Chain A
Amino acid sequence: MVSAPRHVACVMDGNGRWARQRYLPRTAGHRAAEAAVIDVIEAARSAGVGWLSLYAFSTENWRRPSDEIDFLMGLIRRTLRKHALSMCARNIRCRFLGVSDPRIPSGLAQDISDLVELTRDNRGMTLTVAFDHGGRRDIVEAARALIRDGVPADLVTEESFAEHLPHPDTPDVDLVIRTSGEQRISNFMLWQVAYAEWVFPEVLWPDFRAEHFHECLRAYRNRERRFGDVRSPNPILKGSR
């Protein structure tokens, strides 16, 4: 039996549609997403996934109506506070990817840095929340960092480049789950998903539960991961524990 993927990422899509189907405001969909997030964190932990990344808010999401943004910021803050203690107790290390826009309310920014500080030494599972994240921006930032470090062109390799990305100790993503059937990358962890398997369950994110997560893991296990190699029919081991 093949073990679980090492790094799973979720693009949490479908909150708006979920709400529309119920004739509710979009904000209701976001609120309903919380339960799914908590369920998935628990499911990933029990399945032995070492790294879980969640795409909470992209750099493009700032274009949404300001009411919705305000609501989202408040919701994220409340959710974060509500679960901070249990994250800590469950030995989950929380990290954030992005979080650089000055429009992020200072209270939320403080809570984020507090949560990171609180869980810094936890080693059970690493939860990376991509918040105000853009994959291209990270790559541009890494390029800037390389130039500032004065790295000569010949020494710029995939490895040295990856070293300059945020949280460079994060392993490549093995499996991306994008809910609601949408099949796009949407500027998500572009560098890290290079060899990822993608699954696109039809279920909307607020309805996504542990059993859906396990289903996705099963689908992943049934795929052949070849990393471009054509010889071996069964090399799923690479990238998993």
Chain B
Amino acid sequence: MSAETIAEQPDISILCPDALLADYCQDARWGLAVVRATVLEAAHPQIGAALIENSTFVTHPWRRVFNTLLSVQRILDADPRVRDKEGARLNRMHARIAGVDPKGRPYNAMDPDARAWVVGSLFESTVNLSRMSGVTMSAGDMERLYEEFKAFLVLLEGTADHLPPTVDDFWPYFDETIERGLENTEAMRIILFELFGRMPAPPLLRTHPALWAVGRAMAGPVIGEFLKGTLPESVRQRAGLADLPGSHMLARGVYMGTGVAARVLPESWTRTDTVVGLLDPSLANGGSGSHLLSALRRQQTRAAALIRLLSPISGDDSSSAGSAARSADRFFAEVLDQTGDGYVSWPDIAAMAREVASRLDLEADGEERLFDAFAGWWRELSSALDTDGDGRVSRAEYAAAASSQASPALVRVAEVLFDATDADGDQTISAVEHRALFRTAFSRDVRTTGQDARYSRSEFIREFLDFMAGRHDDSAGYDSLLAQA
């Protein structure tokens, strides 16, 4: 912040399983705090631009929520090396995000003020939502939590100087930023007005689109209103949000309600892991329930297959040429266009690399190789398909040329992906390694079933190429990696 705040830096070793933050992120309601903080972040011009240009938040909101959770869990890990590695990874990820916004202003995800705001808004949201649920944090707890968030910033920046030194100083900083530092950005508008109306189904409900649509139609506006109700007055005014009577009450009601539920329901039910595990069984790691969940999921895919086979053929799928084009279209929308802007450009490809790097928890050099391979593929893709030379591949350009040829650069991506996944370097992918990448057990007939089931390099590459050619909807689990939210 300013010169006189160079006081002592918080010790990052307070980021451990005993941290106060750990209690909060165990509570499923903390997800709401993450979303609310994201709205505040998105209103920051630098962060808003980075979100719009690079983030997959709009197309893959669940992924962002799950990944935030994973990040915080790693940062609070008992082993300090896990924490440091995650901090370094986040830095590498942010270092790749920079550019110029539509108004010509440069943005950079490494900007210290912007990063301080990310950490600060997350702190404020945690405190705020805790208060709204009827539990007012004690002054001591609040100070402790603030120190932890500052330590988080130290982990990223090496210093917490861009946040005020004490909680008492934080509130004026927060109000000041809200008042002068924020704008009515496109990213914020998208999150507030569009996201909840068309949020894709979480993986568990993906096979029940109708159910999800109904639930979303009812819950979407409520969550949207709830979010709006929790926002600071001036942010709401700036976003042109009508002061809907009762929206503040609603926000309180929702949060109070969940607060009561949290007290009445068995504790394990409201734990983040449980909720996430229910939303996406493939994320339920270890634990006794994961077997049951994966069995359940299998039953579910089978039931979905049966339902699809028994339901009448929709008439629009009769000519082979037309349907091939549609399939390319779907592949474009579901896999390639990660940011959902209707074009494929480097941020889309980078988002894929980022997701893989984050899941596999790669070291710097492994990550470098992965990004290089994806960049090579992007160069090839853009030189082959970008016919109008605008630096991005449109849906039409892709459809016109949709080739199923396995290009050398894509084979290279597959090879690097294999090497990265093959953590122990024995030239095969074991069940454990497979789970790290796809978060599912083997789903198809691997040569030998049981404990020794393994993928060889060639099988792995073939499946990847098949998936990227849009040939199979889901061969190994790439849908859960790249297509699903």
Tell me, yes or no, whether B229 is within 8 Å of chain A by CB.
no
Choose, from B61-69, B82-90, B358-366, B470-478, the stretch at the interface: B470-478
Tell me, yes or no, whether A154 is within 8 Å of chain B by CB.
no
Return B432 CB to nearest CB of chain A, in Å.
20
Chain A: CB-nearest residue to B308:
A114
Tell me, yes or no, whether B309 is within 8 Å of chain A by CB.
yes
Q: B473 to A110, Cβ gap below 8 A?
A: yes
Choose, from B115-123, B172-180, B346-354, B452-460, the stretch at the interface: B452-460
Chain B: CB-nearest residue to A85:
B310
The listed residue (A69, A74, A149, A169) touching B427 by CB distance below 8 A is A149
| Interface of chain B: mostly helix, strand, loop or mixed | helix
B297 contact set on A, CB distance < 8 A: none
Return B382 CB to nearest CB of chain A, in Å.
21
A107 contact set on B, CB distance < 8 A: 313-314, 317, 323
Q: A148 to B305, Cβ gap below 8 A?
A: no
A78 contact set on B, CB distance < 8 A: 313
Tell me, yes or no, whether A144 is within 8 Å of chain B by CB.
yes
The interface on chain B, measured as residues whose beta carbon lies within 8 A of the other chain's beta carbons, has a size of 36
B474 contact set on A, CB distance < 8 A: 113
Q: A115 to B457, Cβ gap below 8 A?
A: no
Return A111 CB to nearest CB of chain B, in Å.
6
Interface size class of A (residues with CB under 8 A): 35 or more
Return A100 CB to nearest CB of chain B, in Å.
6
The listed residue (B301, B302, B327, B466) touching A100 by CB distance below 8 A is B466
* A102-B301 contact in complex given A85-B310, A149-B458, A164-B458, C-beta closer than 8 Å: no
- Which B residues between 210 and 242 are near A, CB-CB below 8 angstroms? none
* A102-B324 contact in complex given A115-B309, A149-B456, C-beta closer than 8 Å: yes
CA distance A73 to B305 in the complex (A): 19
Tell me, yes or no, whether B356 is within 8 Å of chain A by CB.
no
Q: B326 to A106, Cβ gap below 8 A?
A: yes
Tell me, yes or no, whether B2 is within 8 Å of chain A by CB.
no
Tell me, yes or no, whether B92 is within 8 Å of chain A by CB.
no
* A148-B324 contact in complex given A102-B471, A110-B308, C-beta closer than 8 Å: no
A150 contact set on B, CB distance < 8 A: 427, 457
Chain A: CB-nearest residue to B318:
A74
The listed residue (B301, B402, B427, B470) touching A117 by CB distance below 8 A is B301
CA distance A104 to B301 in the complex (A): 22
Tell me, yes or no, whether A182 is within 8 Å of chain B by CB.
no
- Which interface residue of A85, A100, A114 has the most chain B CB atoms within 10 A? A114
Tell me, yes or no, whether B447 is within 8 Å of chain A by CB.
yes
Tell me, yes or no, whether B320 is within 8 Å of chain A by CB.
yes
Return B415 CB to nearest CB of chain A, in Å.
8
Extra inter-chain contacts (20) besides given A77-B313, A149-B456, A169-B445, CB under 8 Å = A73-B320, A74-B318, A78-B313, A81-B310, A85-B309, A88-B306, A102-B470, A105-B320, A105-B323, A107-B317, A109-B327, A109-B471, A111-B309, A114-B309, A115-B309, A117-B301, A117-B305, A149-B457, A150-B427, A167-B445
The 6 A-B pairs at the shortest CB distance, nearest first, are namely A145-B458, A106-B327, A114-B305, A107-B317, A102-B404, A148-B458
Q: 18 A-B residue contacts at CB 8 Å?
A: A69-B320, A70-B318, A73-B320, A77-B313, A85-B306, A103-B320, A106-B317, A106-B323, A109-B471, A109-B472, A114-B305, A115-B309, A117-B302, A118-B305, A141-B462, A150-B427, A164-B458, A167-B445
